[in-house]
Amino acid sequence: MSVKKRVSRIHTRSAALMAAVSLGLSNAVFAALPTPVATPDARSAVVDGDAVSWFKSLFQESSTVMGLAAMVVAFIVCAWIVVAKFNEARTGKCEWTDFGVAAGGSTAVLVVVGYFLNQAAGVI
């Protein structure tokens, strides 16, 4: 038997074993979950005629999503800056300490932006 066939056979058997184990454990995992609590959703507030609370919950949820989107944009911008500075340091256009400053500064910016967005989500 060739090595390729052995590896394929082992891979198939291990995948089948993992599938059997996950199916066997799935009921045990969900057995201890508590029953969900009925929460008022946004649609029931409109049916009851309470449009103000519906708009309030809509604004709160959308502001949280916008804060998360702002954090993603800040992460992408900081990652872009760090990668660009790494490439400059690798090619010799700047010192490695400049790369360290960019990485540390980007980390600090992400921490501060994340903290302020988290505080703003609690206020709103």
* Those residues with Cβ within 8 angstroms of residue 4's Cβ, 6 or more apart along the chain or in another chain: none
Which residues have C-beta within 8 Å of that of residue 59, sequence separation ≥ 6?
124
Can you give the pLDDT at residue 44? Answer: 53
Do 82 and 102 touch, CB atoms closer than 8 A?
yes
Structure token digits, residue 80: 């872009």
Q: What is the pLDDT along the chain (124 residues), one digit of tens a residue?
A: 677 776 677 777 777 777 766 766 666 666 666 776 666 554 555 566 677 777 887 888 888 889 889 999 999 999 999 999 999 999 999 999 999 999 999 999 999 999 998 888 777 6
In this prediction, residue 105 carries a pLDDT of 95
> According to the model, what pLDDT value does residue 25 have?
61
| pTM greater than 0.85 (yes/no) | no
CA distances 101 to 29, 77, 92, Å, are 46, 15, 16
What's the pLDDT score for residue 118?
Answer: 85
pLDDT at 36: 67
Distance CA 52, CA 69 (A): 26
Domain boundaries, the chain: 1-33, 46-123
